[in-house]
Amino acid sequence: MKRYLSGMFSESCEFMKRLKSNHFYAFFIIIIAIVIFLAIYVYSIVTGNILEDAAVSNIREVAVHDRNTITMFIEYNWKNQQRIGERLKRNSDKLKTVSQINEYLGLEAYESTFDKIYLLMEDGSYYTDITYRKDSETPDYYPYMDLFADTDDYKVIGYDPLPVMGSDKVVIYGYKLSGNPKGEVLSGIKIGEDQKEVYAVICICKRSTIMDGLVIENYDDDAGNPQGYSSVVNKNGEYVVDRKDAASSDPDSLFDIIKRCDSSDLTSSDVQKKMNAGEEFWFYMEKNGVRELNYCTPLTSSSVNWYFIMSVSDKVVKDQTELFVLLIIATMSAAVIVIIIAFVSAIIMQRKTQIAHAQEKAQSEFLSNMSHEIRTPLNGIIGLNYLIMNAIDSPDKHLQIKEWLKKSQNTAEYLLALINDVLDISKLQAGKVEVTRAPMLVEAMSESVCSMQYDNITGHGITFVKDLHITVPCIQCDEVHIKQVLMNIIGNAVKFTPAGGTIRFTVNQSMIDENHVMTTFVCEDTGCGMSKEFLNEIFHKFTQDRSSTSNSTKGTGLGMAISKLLVNAMGGEIHVESELNKGSTFTVEVPAEICEIPDYLKTHTDAAEKTSDNFNNDVRSMKILVAEDNELNAEILLEILSQFGFVPVHAQNGQEAVEIFERSKINEFTIILMDMRMPVLDGCEASSRIRGLDREDAKTVTIFACTANSFQEDREKALASGMNDFLTKPIDINAMLRKMEKIEHEKHNMQ
CATH number at residue 176: 3.30.450
Residue 74 has pLDDT above 80, yes or no: yes
Whether residue 646 sits in one domain with residue 565: no
pLDDT of res. 572: 92
Is 52 a domain residue? no
- Decide if pLDDT at 64 tops 70: yes
pLDDT score of 492:
87
Query: Residue length, the chain?
Result: 751
Whether 431 and 505 share a structural domain = yes
Residues near 624 by beta carbon (within 8 Å), at least 6 away in sequence: 641, 646, 647, 648, 649, 669, 670, 671, 672, 673
Q: Which of 177-181, 237-241, 414-418, 461-465 ranks highest by mean pLDDT?
A: 461-465
Task: Summarize pLDDT for 203-238 with one digit per residue, the tens.
Answer: 998 877 766 655 555 666 667 677 777 888 888 888
Half-sphere exposure of 135 (CA within 13 A, CB side): 1
CA angle 264, 68, 170 (to 5 degrees): 75
Per mean pLDDT, which range of 122-126, 150-154, 164-168, 607-611 is the poorest?
607-611
Report the pLDDT averaged over residues 599-613. 51
How far is 124 from 144, CA to CA, in rounded Å? 7
Helix, strand or coil, per DSSP, at residue 295: strand
Does 629 share its domain with 724? yes
Judge whether residue 82 has pLDDT over 80: yes
Average of per-residue pLDDT across 654-660: 94
Say what the pLDDT of residue 672 is: 92
Q: Is 288 exposed, middle or buried (0-12, 13-18, 19+ CB in 10 A)?
A: exposed
Kindly state whether residue 511 falls inside one of the protein's structural domains: yes
Residue pLDDT, tens place only, 683-702: 999 999 999 999 989 998 98
pLDDT for res 11: 45
Distance between CA atoms of 294 and 310, rounded to whole angstroms?
6
Structure letter (DSSP) for residue 266 = S
Do both 573 and 613 map to the same domain? no
pLDDT reading at 244 higher than 60: no
Name the pLDDT band for 15 (thresholds 50, 70, 90): very low
Q: Is 433 helix (H, G, I), strand (E, B) or coil?
A: coil
Q: What is the CATH number of the domain that holds 556?
A: 3.30.565.10
User: Per the domain annotation, does 534 fall within a domain?
Assistant: yes
The answer on pLDDT for 648 being more than 70 is yes
Number of domains in the chain: 3
pLDDT reading at 506 higher than 80: yes
Q: Rounded mean pLDDT of 405-411? A: 82
Q: Is residue 490 part of a domain?
A: yes
**172 and 101 in one domain?**
yes
Q: Which residues contact 701 (CB under 8 A, 6 or more apart)?
A: 661, 669, 670, 671, 672, 690
Using one digit for the tens of pLDDT, what is the confidence trace for 113-141? 888 999 999 888 899 988 888 876 677 78
Highest mean pLDDT among 370-384, 683-697, 712-726: 683-697
Q: Examine the pLDDT at 79 and tell me if it is beyond 50.
A: yes
Please count the other Cβ atoms lying within 10 Å of the Cβ belonging to residue 194. 7
Alpha helices (H) along 621-730: 631-643, 654-663, 683-691, 712-720
- Residue 320's pLDDT is 60
Which residue did the predictor score with more confidence, 665 or 10?
A: 665
- Distance between CA 706 and CA 654 in Å, rounded? 13
**Residue 197: its H or E element:** strand 196-206
468 and 610 fall within a common domain: no
Instruction: Determine the pLDDT at residue 237.
Output: 85
Residues 178, 153 within the same domain:
yes
Longest CA–CA span in the chain (Å) reads 141
Of 593, 410, 599, 442, the closest CA to residue 521 belongs to 442
**Same-domain status, 201 and 127:** yes
Least confident of 166-175, 245-254, 271-280, 313-322: 245-254
Q: Are residues 463 and 539 in the same domain?
A: yes
CA 120/CA 106 separation, integer angstroms? 15
Q: 118: part of which helix (H) or strand (E)?
A: strand 116-121
Q: Is the pLDDT of residue 650 over 90?
A: yes
Is the overall model pTM greater than 0.85, yes or no? no
| Among the ranges given (59-68, 522-531, 541-550, 590-599), the one the predictor scored with the smallest mean pLDDT | 541-550
In this prediction, residue 382 has a pLDDT band, given cuts at 50, 70 and 90, of confident
% residues pLDDT > 70 (the chain): 71
To the nearest whole percent, how much of the chain has pLDDT over 90? 19
Instruction: Select from 312, 304, 168 the least CA-distant residue to 230.
Output: 312
Indicate whether 136 and 162 sit together in one domain. Answer: yes
Which CA distances in Å does 280 have to 75, 450, 685? 21, 38, 58
pLDDT at 581 over 80: yes
Angle at 39 between CA 36 and CA 42, to 5 degrees: 150
Domain that holds residue 168: 95-211
Q: List the beta bridge partners of residue 649.
A: 625
Q: Which of 4-18, 140-154, 366-380 has the lowest mean pLDDT?
A: 4-18
Which residues does residue 647 pair with via DSSP β-bridges, in sequence order? 623
Q: What is the pLDDT of residue 409?
A: 80
**Phi, psi angles (nearest 5°) of residue 200:** -155, 160
Q: pLDDT value at position 615? A: 47
Q: Picking from 375-379, 527-531, 558-562, 600-604, which range would have the lowest pLDDT averaged per residue?
A: 600-604
Which of 585, 600, 615 terminates a domain? The answer is 600
Torsion angles phi and psi, residue 471, rounded to 5:
-100, -25
Rounded Cα distance, 557 and 546, in Å:
12
The answer to whether residue 613 scores a pLDDT higher than 90 is: no
423-441 residue pLDDT tens: 655 565 555 566 778 899 9
Position 296 in a domain: no
Is residue 568 in a domain?
A: yes
Given a cut of 80, is residue 266 above it in pLDDT?
yes
Q: What is the mean pLDDT of the chain?
A: 78
Q: How far is CA 64 from each of CA 261, 329, 516, rounded to the nearest angstrom?
A: 26, 36, 51
Contact present, 339 and 346 (Cβ < 8 Å): no
Lowest mean pLDDT among 584-598, 705-719, 731-745: 731-745
Task: Indicate whether 417 pLDDT > 70.
Answer: no
Poorest-pLDDT segment among 190-204, 279-293, 315-329, 605-619 = 605-619
- Place 608 in a pLDDT band, splitting at 50, 70 and 90: very low
For residues 118 and 156, state if they share a domain.
Answer: yes
Of 581, 600, 619, which marks where a domain is finished? 600
Both 576 and 614 in a single domain? Answer: no
CATH code where residue 745 lies: 3.40.50.2300
List alpha helices for 392-466, DSSP H: 398-423, 425-429, 442-459
637 domain-assigned:
yes
d(CA 736, CA 706): 10
Question: Averaged over 295-305, what is the pLDDT?
Answer: 80
**Is the pLDDT score of 157 beyond 60?**
yes
> In 460-548, where does DSSP find H-type helix?
479-495, 532-535
Among the ranges given (326-335, 482-491, 591-600), the one the predictor scored with the smallest mean pLDDT? 326-335
pLDDT of residue 367: 64
Q: Would residue 245 count as lying in a domain?
A: no
Is 60 exceeded by the pLDDT of residue 597?
yes
Among the three residues 211, 239, 261, which one is the final residue of a domain in this structure? 211
pLDDT band at residue 453, thresholds of 50, 70 and 90?
confident
